[in-house]
Amino acid sequence: MNIRGIHAIYRYEMNRSFRTLIQSLVSPVLSTILYFIVFGAAIGSRMDNISNVSYGAFIVPGLIMLTVQMQSVNNASFGIYFPKFIGTTYELLSAPLSFVEIVIGYVGAATTKAFSIGLIILCTSYLFVDLDIKYPLFMFCFLFITCMTFSLLGFIIGIVSDNFEQLNIVPMLIITPLVFLGGSFYTIDMLPPFWQNFALLNPIVYLISGFRWSFFGVGDVPIFTSIIFMLIFKSICISIIWYIFKTGYKIKN
């Protein structure tokens, strides 16, 4: 294992975030604060409790998931796409690094950034609502695995994209709608029976449900279902990355 090579990629990606601190950190935190003000204070004060939880507290897991999933994908996709854009991919591939070490460097940095933003948003939420996390250890583990999984997805998007427009198609047109329709601001029990069954086809439902369970002990689906789905999703992303590096798809040709 080339630890020095992994550290070089990781440090470069982390330094890039510090150079764009407003975009990397301040922007998502301010956006989340606006969600708290609009949905938590303005709208939440007029809504009944959901699952014996105030609406302002109820949306905290969904807001964290919304932010970290988008940040994981964006950071990882841009991190690996930028070497393609400036033409330094071959320098990376010619270095004494295996594809595993390359993935660890880029995905590790994206995971770290998204996980840190998630914790900052969690701390910020205490300024607006009272939170009592029921399973804090599970919450941290689930948040970390979510950041890692979506960083793997972002890594795939960055490799297969040919321009900046394609780089933003999946996050903006697929992931964002799925997150909003995945129970970020409501439970699927509030939907009519037909739409409840339809919502279960949304993979984000299982992730938000599992994360919300760690906060309040309740979720839209059983927690074991959420864990199994997360592991399957992660395994699929790893398999796709392995295939890409094995065949050189969008990298060597």
Which residues of the chain are under the pLDDT cut of 50?
Answer: none
User: Which residues does 73 contact at the CB level (< 8 Å), separation at least 6?
Assistant: 150, 151, 153, 154, 157, 170, 171, 175
Contact, 136 vs 228, CB < 8 A?
no
Give 149-167 pLDDT, tens digit per residue: 999 999 999 999 888 888 8
CA gap 82, 151 in Å, rounded: 15
The token pair at 174 is 């697929």
The per-residue DSSP string of 172-231 comes to IIIIHHHHHTTTSSS-GGGS-HHHHHHHTT-HHHHHHHHHHHHHHS--SS-HHHHHHHHH
Q: Can you say whether the dihedral through the CA atoms of 153, 226, 214, 196 is positive or negative?
A: positive
| Start-to-end Cα distance in the chain | 27
Identify the pLDDT of residue 105.
Answer: 92
Across the strands, what pairs with 50?
A: 53
Identify the pLDDT of residue 155.
Answer: 94
CA gap 45, 60 in Å, rounded: 15
Identify the pLDDT of residue 44.
Answer: 59
Per the document, the length of the chain is 253
How far is CA 252 from each of CA 44, 84, 142, 160, 243, rounded to the nearest angstrom? 52, 11, 35, 12, 13
* pTM metric for this prediction: 0.90
Q: What are the backbone dihedrals phi and psi of residue 181, each rounded to the nearest 5 degrees, phi first?
A: -90, 5
CA gap 148, 186 in Å, rounded: 25
Identify the pLDDT of residue 113.
Answer: 92
Other CB atoms within a 10 A radius of the CB of residue 10 amount to 18
The token pair at 225 is 């279902």
Contact, 147 vs 42, CB < 8 A?
no
Give 92-125 pLDDT, tens digit per residue: 778 788 889 999 999 999 999 999 999 999 988 8
DSSP character for 48? Answer: -
Q: What's at 223, amino acid-wise?
A: I
CA gap 14, 251 in Å, rounded: 23
CA gap 85, 214 in Å, rounded: 40
Identify the pLDDT of residue 41.
Answer: 64
Identify the pLDDT of residue 40.
Answer: 64
Please work out, in degrees rounded to the nearest 5, the angle formed at the alpha carbon of residue 222 by the alpha carbons of 220 and 223.
105
